[in-house]
Amino acid sequence: MKAPSQYHRCPACKQGELVEATRVKTFAPHGTPVAVELRISRCTACGAELINAEQRRENLRRLQERKSAYGSLLLGEEIVALRKKYGLTQQRAAKIFGKGLIAFSRYENETSYPDASLTKLLKRAIENPSVLKALADEEGVEIPLWQARCSDERAAKLVPLPASPESALLWARLRSEREPAHPKRFEILTAGVPIHTEKMQLSGTAVNDAFVEEIRVS
Ligand SMILES: [Zn+2]
């Protein structure tokens, strides 16, 4: 008898046992077949196929590995990721990149691959969000998650905090001297509340008596 922890009853039929199996998914970048063996669980009674969290992680790794066979081509997942990051439907994405309505469905399923010039453009949009924005503006297409992604980007630039208002100001002063071209608007926050949002004043009086948590640079 198997230990209870190793026995996985099928949630579909509640009769059979889920056993480890594989399914092969085939892609054809540049017309050359690339097979990826994916891990699944299959029910011994009804044949239902499920994927658990561990198998999913392993499958993602295996899928990622196929990239070595793609040369300059993008994986379908990379195109999906770009689109979803900005909350775009396949139709909106198609309009932004000047393609037909079903084009993105085909690229994402890899039933066809974007040509060289579109691949180049997609890569530029992945690396540089402003490229996507410019193309969307040109086509009059709204990007639903644009503001949200911009906030993420600003948050990623948060600078971890210097221990005191004095060191925060020192840091800001050094930075503005080293990078004179850098915008000089600093927000100094304490407990998440901005206490100094003016153009940087080097006197430091604005932050007296407060414990500074972070400095935002914009
Ligand atoms: Zn079953």
CA of 4 to the centre of ligand 1 (A): 17
State whether 65 and 86 are in the same domain.
Answer: no
Please say if the pLDDT value at position 201 is more than 50.
no
State whether 80 and 140 are in the same domain.
Answer: yes
| CATH number where 56 lies | 3.10.20
Q: What is the pTM of this model?
A: 0.68
CA of 112 to the centre of ligand 1 (A): 35
State whether 200 and 166 are in the same domain.
Answer: yes
* pLDDT tens-digit series, residues 15-53: 999 999 999 999 999 999 999 999 999 999 999 999 999
DSSP code, position 182: S
Which residue, 116, 135, 152, sits at the end of a domain?
Answer: 152
Q: How far is CA 122 from CA 54, 75, 102, in A?
A: 31, 11, 16
Domain count, the chain: 3
CA of 21 to the centre of ligand 1 (A): 14
Query: 186 vs 203, which has greater pLDDT?
Result: 186
Domain residues for 106? Answer: 76-152
Nearest to 30 by CA among 77, 70, 79, 74: 70
* pLDDT tens-digit series, residues 143-189: 999 999 988 877 666 555 555 556 666 666 666 666 555 545 555 55
d(CA 104, CA 120): 15
State whether 65 and 102 are in the same domain.
Answer: no
* pLDDT tens-digit series, residues 66-114: 999 999 999 999 999 999 999 999 999 999 999 999 999 999 999 999 9
| CATH number where 124 lies | 1.10.260.40
